[in-house]
Structure 1
């Protein structure tokens, strides 16, 4: 009796499966993959990136990356601006800078570029100008911030990035710079070097300590240039020129030229001091009473990074001095 067609197909399929199984051998069940441990990212503090938002004014472009050589921590700055801190619910203006110091790093002495942050406690911007000054430059310049692509810009804490600045209890502005480093190669060297000599400018209501200073820095144009200090009350033009001929190899035929050069620089400095006094008096006379009152009560805070396990100790190199315009901080943090 013939086998039903359906049974033939089923038997053939079973024989094929059995042959395939014999050819492959027994399949081994794969072991389950081990569970990967969840990666941990520490939660960012609300003001953790504030100090980085303040452009390090006056730091050479090629040295800016050195600031990140260490994982600096400015929790002292953050605490001062948070609830309970001395700067909470105030309007403040911040700018950054750097100070090279010889510090101990891993048992060795090393020059470290220390970032610092200056906080100005004032309801109005302390200035909209930048000073250009250094011992390498003959003349000081006071320029508008925008000439150096700088401006006070609002800073928003991490938890308030979608807020408006006027809605925040503590209003923070930082001195920012929009100059792109990638575009520096297209600028003239003189223009690039200007950024190295920048200092945040501030005109105090009281005259600066050096307003009556009779010492001027001189860069005499010779090869190589002669750098020196001249005090027009203490130094004699003739004796000073003779000294440069005897001690610094200035040729005899340059003696009279140097004397005239010194006299002209002294006249320039006296004119500058006179103009500065007149400008200060006029600025104070024209100042809005509210702004004048704010400037009379202005306070400067200078913050250094706090000590951590992976940063050098800067406690022994802290100084109140800010720059020639702001002079000394009222509070050293």
Structure 2
């Protein structure tokens, strides 16, 4: 019987049989992975490079000014601070190597000033963020003042009563380190009051935040020219809001002028005079008590702390000029507030 003849394999069949061998499969798989991997790596490198160009590296102290709560700014206006891309590189440079505050212990607080400025050819009210750096090895104060022309009484309360405190600031390069290993010399005045809770608070409590001012008691008494002026809010509809200087103003003439201006009714004149005299009496008592409290505080003060307060320095920073922000050169002022008075250095 004739033996069956084997069928000839085609080239395609031979290639298929060869590729089915384990060695061939492994080799083919390696080639495929290499072919896929190489363009993926190149694509990722391009993407990372593009992202780096879109998001430049942040400066080490770039968010320092934002870390300080803008004390005394109305809650509904806080977001207006971000209307412009403000830049405080002058503050950053002052704290970096070679700067006037480098290596020193500083306490930083922020506030805002409303000014009418030219914005792209249009006159506009702008809320300008301002930062004050206090050069002192000790906190300048643990209290907050609550005051405004709308409030008859001025209060000095502990910071914690308004949920405020001096908080250590951690520069960007140190934020991955253990907290207990940090030795920062920069502290910002922070506030832990959450805005979402405000709607559950009474109006008087919410308004207190609007009237807050960083408090400071200087070793030397303030300029006496401020000590003879009293704020008057006489309860009428609308209320009479004015200042009375008991050294310069006469009670009778002062009331007559208001009557002539039709601000004060004639039949309220005597009541108004008595009201002003009572406010002056209260103010004189406040000044006497403040003088005694200052003297006692200085007498009881630790010698090292007293020496530090004698050499304390205030630096007031405005944002630097950039193409994205309005010109502030004509609105800069050394005045900080009624407690800190004027800054030693305007930056």
Contact 2:108 2:133 in 1 (8 A): yes
Q: Residues 167-215 of structure 1: CA distance to partner in whole angstroms, max 9, x if unpaired?
A: 44x5100000000011110011111111111000000000001476312
Deviation at 1:163, TM superposition (A): 4.7
Deviation at 1:139, TM superposition (A): 1.4
Question: Secondary structure of 1:317's match?
Answer: coil
> Which residue of the partner structure matches residue 325 of structure 2?
311
**Residue 46 in structure 1 maps to residue 57 in structure 2:** no
> Which residue of the partner structure matches residue 22 of structure 2?
none
Matches for 1:12-31 after TM superposition, within 5 Å: none
**Residue 74 in structure 1 maps to residue 88 in structure 2:** yes
Deviation at 1:250, TM superposition (A): 2.7
User: Quick one: which of 178, 195, 216 aligns to 1:181?
Assistant: 195
| Cα 1:211–1:151 shift into 2, 3 Å | farther
2-structure distance, mates of 1:251, 1:110: 37
> Which residue of the partner structure matches residue 102 of structure 1?
116
Contact 1:100 1:112 in 2 (8 A): yes
Structure with more helix by fraction: 2
Matches for 1:47-62 after TM superposition, within 5 Å: 47-62=61-76
2-structure distance, mates of 1:212, 1:194: 23
Q: Residues 240-288 of structure 1: CA distance to partner in whole angstroms, max 9, x if unpaired?
A: 2233223224333312211111111010000001001000000000000
> Which residue of the partner structure matches residue 255 of structure 1?
269
Is there any run of 5+ residues in structure 2 with no aligned partner, and where? 11-38
> Which residue of the partner structure matches residue 236 of structure 1?
250
2-structure distance, mates of 1:166, 1:113: 38
**Residue 290 in structure 1 maps to residue 304 in structure 2:** yes
Q: Residues 203-240 of structure 1: CA distance to partner in whole angstroms, max 9, x if unpaired?
A: 00000014763121211011110112212223222232
More divergent stretch after superposition (238-247 vs 151-160): 238-247
2-structure distance, mates of 1:265, 1:212: 15
> Which residue of the partner structure matches residue 19 of structure 1?
none
> Which residue of the partner structure matches residue 13 of structure 1?
none
1-structure distance, mates of 2:57, 2:88: 16
2-structure distance, mates of 1:316, 1:165: 44
Question: Secondary structure of 2:330's match?
Answer: helix
1-structure distance, mates of 2:92, 2:174: 15
User: Quick one: which of 115, 119, 129 aligns to 2:129?
Assistant: 115
1-structure distance, mates of 2:121, 2:264: 46
TM-score normalized by the length of structure 2? 0.83
| Cα 1:197–1:249 shift into 2, 3 Å | closer
2-structure distance, mates of 1:249, 1:123: 51
**Residue 143 in structure 1 maps to residue 173 in structure 2:** no
Question: Secondary structure of 2:115's match?
Answer: strand
| Cα 1:261–1:195 shift into 2, 3 Å | same
**Residue 281 in structure 1 maps to residue 295 in structure 2:** yes
**Residue 325 in structure 1 maps to residue 339 in structure 2:** yes
2-structure distance, mates of 1:187, 1:287: 38
More divergent stretch after superposition (147-156 vs 245-254): 245-254
1-structure distance, mates of 2:74, 2:152: 19
Deviation at 1:92, TM superposition (A): 0.5
TM-score normalized by the length of structure 1? 0.87
Question: Secondary structure of 2:65's match?
Answer: helix
1-structure distance, mates of 2:111, 2:264: 38
Deviation at 1:104, TM superposition (A): 1.6
**Residue 193 in structure 1 maps to residue 207 in structure 2:** yes
Is there any run of 5+ residues in structure 1 with no aligned partner, and where? 11-31
Q: Residues 276-329 of structure 1: CA distance to partner in whole angstroms, max 9, x if unpaired?
A: 100000000000000000000000000111111111121221111100100011
Q: Give RMSD over aligned pairs.
A: 2.6
